[in-house]
Structure 1
């Protein structure tokens, strides 16, 4: 009889999974609610839709001072007072990469200094002193 009672009890045993599913769903909802969702930072890139590239030409103006203290810009005579205007015109049309200044050995020092001062008032381009001209 003891064996039949145990066998009878084992036949009536069943596992109820409903409470387990409830716990799983409660945990799932808890983790979803408490999770923090961060939006990733994105770099904004502005694309240029124009197919052509504008390339500004580069120039290197050359100043020459002759023995009579006359100043020439690219073989064209200019006044010392007009050097600022001429450099501004060149800078408006192209990028000035460097400026070359060449002086005759018999020219006055004041003329060279006046030209250099006028150049530096208008632009920050490097100034190169070239070979001394002699006739």
Structure 2
């Protein structure tokens, strides 16, 4: 038997140049691609008119003949008019205010009451006199 000298040849393929080409092509396509945002149709949505469930409040002030201030038939301190209006305003919207004064009451009490009301709210005030 003849001895054959078998030389194994290991063929190696160098992939580095191919990877370079792939990355160059990848960079080329990324750079040349234009990224456009898709345009959408503008919708004109109808705004819902939600009805508010807040109640309206009409405070009734009365000045007695001895200059006591009554709010809805309850006596209040003349220095706490704005506080009482704020309490009523928390329960609902003040749309109008009614003020009546006894003919025997003093002008200063009425003016003080009106100043306190206007200092708190800009709701319309109706004036009347008690019979």
Aligned Cα RMSD in Å?
Answer: 2.4
2:97 maps to which of 96, 99, 107:
99
How far apart are 1:80 and its partner, in Å?
A: 1.2
Partner residue, 2:109: 111
Task: Name the SS of the counterpart of 1:125 in structure 2.
Answer: coil
Runs of 4+ that moved beyond 2 A: 38-48
User: Counterpart of 1:81 in 2: which secondary structure?
Assistant: coil
The 5-angstrom pairing of residues 18-97 of structure 1 reads 41-45=42-46, 54-97=52-95
Moved more, 97-106 or 53-62: 53-62
Is 1:133 aligned to residue 130 of structure 2? yes
Counterparts of 2:101 and 2:46 in 1: how far apart (Å)?
Answer: 50
Separation of aligned partners in 2, 1:47 and 1:71: 43
Q: Distance in 2 between matches of 1:74 and 1:82?
A: 14
Deviations 1:90-124 (A, max 9, x none): 11110111000000011000000000000011111
- The normalised TM-score by structure 1 is 0.61
More helix by share: 1
* Cα distance in 1, alignment partners of residues 110 and 48 from structure 2: 47
How many Å separate the matches in 2 of 1:67 and 1:47?
51
TM-score by length of 2: 0.63
- Total equivalences in the alignment: 93
